[in-house]
Structure 1
Amino acid sequence: MADKKLLLIDGNSVAFRAFYALYRQLESFKNPEGLHTNAIYAFKNMLDVLLKDVKPTHVLVAFDAGKVTFRNKMYDDYKGGRQKTPEELLEQLPYIQEMLHDLGIKTYELKNYEADDIIGTFVNLGETADFKVTVVTGDRDLTQLTSNKTTVMVTKHGVSDLEAYTPEHMKKVNGVTPTEFIDMKALMGDNSDNYPGVTKIGPKTASNLIQKYGSIENLYDHIDDMKKSKRKENLIKDKDKAFLAKKLATIDRNAPVTIGLKDVKRKPVDYKKLRQFYEQMNFRKFLGELNASGEGQDGAEVEKVKYTELDQSNAKKISVKENDTVSFYLEMLGDNYHLAEFVGFALKINEQVYVSRDVSLLQENNLKHLLEDAEINKNVFDLKRTTVGLNRIDVHAHGLNYDMLLASYLVNNENNSNDVGEVCHLYGDYSVKTDLEVYGKGKSEHVPSDDKVLYNHLASKVVAIEKLKPLLLK
């Protein structure tokens, strides 16, 4: 059945690739407690792409249970030459698993077996049950699992560039079938897994020999027919190594797993836990996506703010007294504030909030005086953007003595945002929607025609600038 799709992910291998994909930003990816988060972040980005492209009904992420497996009993130095896994990656692995559980995705490990063997076993289970199977890994050893029902995706650079191995592609790349690839590995050995093959036989020679003989068993059955050569001597001398290498290279497709296909069916996302997890990791991007989807907010609507709509008549009546608390927000759609479209503004004087789409009202004498008077202190978000925007309508602002954007940058310059809503969410305040939620993005970006939607967004922003000020300053 075409709708039955099984996605199998090599957890350790992909986490390793994810870690090094953002390795240069290692110190930039930390949560407030100092936990490194680069591998978690990159893993989630890759997972989003896979889920979108594969659309699996069943997902399993397999992890290694430990360093010792049945292969170490065959060969003591199996994987012995590998460098120690960085502590900065090790500390992230439990959190990757936690995130997967929150996303409704099953993880599994099996003592004495590698993740490869779990995946190989589930490939068998999936193919038998007529699933379309996709395997994702950074390890080319798993390409032996390729078949007309199973595609193995191997990470090439980082975690986003994947090479799809089918039987046809395997033949094109290695000159052998997926099954013959095991015999090819038997002859050439594997430096990564630290087991030898036959002396001085590399990938090209190994491929040519297996193309000719089909398997190492058949090759050794016909070894006497070979002409005398140094290669023949090495093949005879290293016969035991070749057969051991084949055992080590062969993925166990019948590992004693204690779960089945029904256990890896995708479960609903636990949005409450996922939101808490993203907040803990300080993943502003993923929080923004949750907010944009409306998920994980327990059905709560964004708080409605009381405001007064300004027009030509009531704008002239606004005045400010000494010691009044004033906050101002100018909305422009677009990154280039020298040219961006004006959307509107919000002004808060003490507890009274005013909003309008018409920025020309700010040229009224009393409002212009309010904004230009250096003696009247005003709270804003992004002083530079606000100053440039007002200059465009001949209002030369002074007295802008608190900048929420600058304050949030000083508190955390690695996870800052130019969006009031996103900054608020970083501090657990969800009373403001993100701009992505209200305006959309790219071709779908637009200013809401409904005044209530726009005005509440602007009003909630100007209220938040003032509300979060004590926390950010502290």
Structure 2
Amino acid sequence: MPDQKRLFLVDAYALIFRGYYAFIKNPRINSKGVDTSAIMGFMNSLLDVIKRERPDHLAVCFDKGGSVDRVEMFEAYKANRDETPEAIKIAVPYIEEILKAMHIPIMVKEGYEADDVIGTLSRQAEKEGYKTFMVTPDKDFAQLVTENIFMYRPVFGGGYETWGIDEVKAKFEVEEPMQVIDFLGMMGDSSDNIPGLPGVGEKTAKKFIAQYGSMENLLANTHELKGKMKEKVEDSKELGLLSKQLATIMLDVPVTFNAKDFELDHPDIEKVKELFQELEFRRLTDNFIKTFTSGEPATQEDKTVDNGTKTATPKPKPSAGSGQFSLFGADPSASDAASDSSYSRNTIATTSHFYQSIAPGMATTLFIQNLMKQQSVCFDTETTSINPLVAELVGIAFTWETGKGFYLPFPEERDDALALIEQLRPFFESETIEKIGQNLKYDIKVLAKYNVAVNGKLFDTMLAHYLINPDMRHNMDVLAETYLNYTPVSITDLIGKKGKNQRSMRDVPLEQQTEYAVEDADITLQLKHHFEKELGEANTQTLFDEIEIPLLRVLAAMELEGINLDANFLNSLSAQLDNDIKALESKIYAAAGEEFNIASPKQLG
């Protein structure tokens, strides 16, 4: 249904630990000596979800006291876990205070895990017609997925992926998500100290699921198993059933989903700023303000829950003209359709644009004449590889006006491509035309393989955003969604996912190449206009102009030049080390009185 409301339930500790370990090699320590890594990581993730998804309803779910029922069933449940890092112990009270100031409900029930709280709330919300997105990387939640309940998983390297029924079935090789419980019960879970069936790993568990469908059916047909596996499974039937029970997320926690209390409200901006100032989160403060630009700060009561009940509080009237980052600028009396559209992102299909491919000959000549008249141009190369040292040009997109741009396709023959790039040389080597791009170092290296330099003033949106908000991701898709409320065409829609079946950009029809490439250039130009102002506000314009951009050129030149290796010396060193190893092995065998596999801890012990 088009007006179906969306509830986002955040697995607090999963994101707190993830945030902490994201900074483990470079922890964020403020001037007071406090490690704020976990707080910063969690808040970055939370704000990212809010900006990307504009949820109607949101709550953050915590553990409190662990799972009493599971420990009663199995005393060693989670007993193998290391003590919680001190930085996380310090972080949790701060995070709770920030959430209270943001008027985001904290859902917690003593004696239950967040998994169980989320499971219960998601089922209750589903009955009331909501779509629920469980924000967590934890695979255990896959068992809860239904037509209206999804996993919203942060992925390594940035972004999120949504797991629905089809994704869960493909990932775990099951017929339905509920079988994930059997899968986890069979293979166990070392992180939770769930024993599982001895000798059964992921591969075997998937095999058993395909053959038997459930733990109970497997245990009822152990006579079909062979050898040691049969013996192990038959000896561990009770352990298998216990493991399945431990892996099952509870759906009957005494908490209640009250839609009004879960609505995403105006935060107390001044209180949040005060907490961020104490933690010395300057960049995060800017990020927060832009995310929640609205009228006057709210003065609602906190929405903290321990017993499953909350006090409903009135919402203040939203102010007009809140800006593109406002979550609360819409008129509450507007129609459902208008309300829905305020939460959706623009795409190439919903945005007016004029993207044109340039034909060879006179059209190209006229286009280049026009190009040379511009003072500032954004360009984006399309190539055959993400490795600039081997990439071949497929085309170049150009734009100097929002919503309008041009795509110049390149011939596959090297000589013809060189002839075309020669026509563009005056543009790229012009000292008076500013060149704009996203990750210009890549483009500079690609063009260098065609003996073309990129001169003049440069503006790299990826570098600019790094200075504006170093703790966020800087890829163009994330920036477009965050700053422009726009979802670009995905490269996988054009060439497929990584792997042997992925196509080359050359295989994509020209019309699609044009739309994709010029859209990238168009977005980059719009981001440039946005980031220009922010560099000044963040007092990083001088750093950008005098350090980062010159360094970009130096790094590109260094990477193109590479380093020389003395291959003869390295080969001789390898032979020498090989002889040393053989001499040491001989001494070990002599001392032991026999030969054995030194690399085997079992034989060595």
* 1:418 Cα deviation from its structure 2 partner: 9.5
Q: Aligned equivalents of 1:255 and 1:230: distance in 2?
A: 40
Q: 1:294 to 1:230 in 2, by over 3 A?
A: closer
* 1:262 Cα deviation from its structure 2 partner: 3.3
Q: Aligned equivalents of 2:194 and 2:109: distance in 1?
A: 23
Q: Aligned equivalents of 1:239 and 1:298: distance in 2?
A: 58
Gaps of 5+ in 1: 300-340, 342-416, 420-439, 448-453, 459-474
Deviations 1:169-193 (A, max 9, x none): 1222211131111001111111110
Alignment partner of 2:172 out of 143, 167, 174: 174
Aligned to 2:265: 267
**Alignment partner of 1:246 is 2:332:** no
**Alignment partner of 1:443 is 2:443:** no
* 1:294 Cα deviation from its structure 2 partner: 6.3
C-alpha contact (below 8 Å) 2:186/2:196 kept by paired residues? yes
Deviations 1:317-360 (A, max 9, x none): xxxxxxxxxxxxxxxxxxxxxxxx9xxxxxxxxxxxxxxxxxxx
Q: Aligned equivalents of 1:161 and 1:289: distance in 2?
A: 17
Aligned to 2:253: 255
Aligned to 2:19: 18
Alignment of 1:168-247 (within 5 A): 168-176=166-174, 177-224=176-223, 226-247=224-245
Aligned to 1:70: 69
C-alpha contact (below 8 Å) 2:47/2:288 kept by paired residues? no
Aligned to 1:84: 83
**Partner of 1:60: helix, strand, or coil?**
strand
C-alpha contact (below 8 Å) 2:66/2:112 kept by paired residues? no
Deviations 1:17-64 (A, max 9, x none): 0111112221x432x433221111121111122112222111111111
Aligned to 1:375: none
**Could you tell me which amino acid in structure 2 is paired with residue 211 of structure 1?**
A
Alignment of 1:134-173 (within 5 A): 134-157=133-156, 160-173=158-171
C-alpha contact (below 8 Å) 1:3/1:57 kept by paired residues? no
* 1:291 Cα deviation from its structure 2 partner: 6.1
The percentage of counterpart residues that share the same residue type is 32
Aligned residues: 309
**Could you tell me which amino acid in structure 1 is paired with residue 276 of structure 2?**
Y
**Partner of 2:132: helix, strand, or coil?**
strand
* 1:240 Cα deviation from its structure 2 partner: 0.2
Alignment of 1:283-298 (within 5 A): 283-289=281-287
279-288 or 86-95, larger mean C-alpha shift: 279-288
Q: Aligned equivalents of 1:298 and 1:289: distance in 2?
A: 17
Q: 1:127 to 1:79 in 2, by over 3 A?
A: same
Q: Aligned equivalents of 2:226 and 2:105: distance in 1?
A: 55
Deviations 1:253-281 (A, max 9, x none): 11111553333222221112112112111
C-alpha contact (below 8 Å) 1:125/1:261 kept by paired residues? no
Q: Aligned equivalents of 2:66 and 2:113: distance in 1?
A: 9
Q: Aligned equivalents of 1:132 and 1:68: distance in 2?
A: 27
Q: Aligned equivalents of 2:271 and 2:49: distance in 1?
A: 22
**Could you tell me which amino acid in structure 2 is paired with residue 97 of structure 1?**
E
Gaps of 5+ in 2: 299-375, 377-465, 469-525, 540-605
**Partner of 2:266: helix, strand, or coil?**
coil
Q: Aligned equivalents of 1:69 and 1:87: distance in 2?
A: 24
* 1:446 Cα deviation from its structure 2 partner: 6.7
Deviations 1:266-309 (A, max 9, x none): 2221112112112111111133346667668879xxxxxxxxxx
* 1:228 Cα deviation from its structure 2 partner: 3.9
What is the root-mean-square deviation of aligned Cα atoms in Å?
A: 2.9
**Could you tell me which amino acid in structure 1 is paired with residue 277 of structure 2?**
E
Aligned to 1:282: 280
Aligned to 2:56: 57
Q: Aligned equivalents of 1:144 and 1:228: distance in 2?
A: 30
* 1:156 Cα deviation from its structure 2 partner: 3.6
Aligned to 2:122: 123
**Partner of 2:196: helix, strand, or coil?**
coil
C-alpha contact (below 8 Å) 1:6/1:131 kept by paired residues? yes
**Could you tell me which amino acid in structure 1 is paired with residue 528 of structure 2?**
G
Q: 1:102 to 1:442 in 2, by over 3 A?
A: farther
Q: Aligned equivalents of 1:189 and 1:290: distance in 2?
A: 40
**Partner of 1:85: helix, strand, or coil?**
coil
**Could you tell me which amino acid in structure 2 is paired with residue 201 of structure 1?**
V
Q: 1:54 to 1:186 in 2, by over 3 A?
A: same
* 1:3 Cα deviation from its structure 2 partner: 4.1
Aligned to 1:36: 35
Q: Aligned equivalents of 2:81 and 2:60: distance in 1?
A: 23
* 1:163 Cα deviation from its structure 2 partner: 3.7
Q: 1:151 to 1:245 in 2, by over 3 A?
A: same
Q: Aligned equivalents of 1:157 and 1:290: distance in 2?
A: 23
Give TM-score scaled by structure 2 length: 0.48
Q: Aligned equivalents of 2:297 and 2:130: distance in 1?
A: 35
Q: Aligned equivalents of 1:289 and 1:248: distance in 2?
A: 40
C-alpha contact (below 8 Å) 2:194/2:247 kept by paired residues? no
Q: Aligned equivalents of 2:294 and 2:53: distance in 1?
A: 22
Aligned to 1:7: 8
**Could you tell me which amino acid in structure 2 is paired with residue 110 of structure 1?**
K
Q: 1:4 to 1:418 in 2, by over 3 A?
A: closer
Alignment of 1:101-116 (within 5 A): 101-116=100-115
**Could you tell me which amino acid in structure 1 is paired with residue 5 of structure 2?**
K
Q: Aligned equivalents of 1:97 and 1:240: distance in 2?
A: 40
Q: Aligned equivalents of 2:181 and 2:188: distance in 1?
A: 10
257-266 or 4-13, larger mean C-alpha shift: 257-266
**Could you tell me which amino acid in structure 1 is paired with residue 34 of structure 2?**
L
* 1:113 Cα deviation from its structure 2 partner: 0.6
**Could you tell me which amino acid in structure 2 is paired with residue 284 of structure 1?**
R
C-alpha contact (below 8 Å) 1:275/1:296 kept by paired residues? no
* 1:157 Cα deviation from its structure 2 partner: 2.6
